[in-house]
Amino acid sequence: NAGVTQTPKFQVLKTGQSMTLQCAQDMNHNSMYWYRQDPGMGLRLIYYSASEGTTDKGEVPNGYNVSRLNKREFSLRLESAAPSQTSVYFCASRETHSSYNEQFFGPGTRLTVL
């Protein structure tokens, strides 16, 4: 039982390049989320998916797109990377009827855009 996995762990891009961050969970959770964390700040929600087949914008969606490929996988795409997107990206999942309402996080992807 791996929980939430993310690939890659590290990535360096040049301005204007594109890339996709992958996330998968094996807990059969309905909801999945993408966050970014900048130094000294909390986690800010980029996009989320309440269930398979649905996606919605979070607090900071500009410059990103997402795909909920199936119940397990939720990917985040940067079409044209900018230095302002240098951050650590976390994927999370949650069971809809959780007793504690908690989210389970992956280990993160550290992205640098030059």
Q: Which is nearer to another protein, 17 or 95 (CB)?
A: 95
Q: What span, in angstroms and rounded, lies between the C-alpha atoms of 72 and 81? A: 26
Burial of 10 (0-12, 13-18, 19+ CB in 10 A): exposed
Peptide bond just before 8 cis, omega within 30 deg: yes
How near is the Cβ of 81 to another protein at its closest, in Å?
Answer: 22
Q: Which is nearer to another protein, 48 or 64 (CB)?
A: 48
Pick 17 or 75: Cβ nearer another protein: 75
CA distance 33 to 92: 5
- CB of residue 98 to another protein, shortest distance in Å: 8
Nearer to another protein, 33 or 85 (CB): 33
As measured in angstroms, the least distance from the Cβ of 90 to another protein is 5
The DSSP element (H or E) to which 114 belongs, if any, is: none
Residues that bind another protein (CB under 8 A): 4, 31, 33, 35, 40-45, 48-50, 56, 58, 90, 92, 94, 96, 98, 100-108
Q: Least distance from C-beta 15 to another protein, angstroms?
A: 26
Sheet of strand 4-7: strand arrangement: 4-7, 19-25, 74-78, 64-68
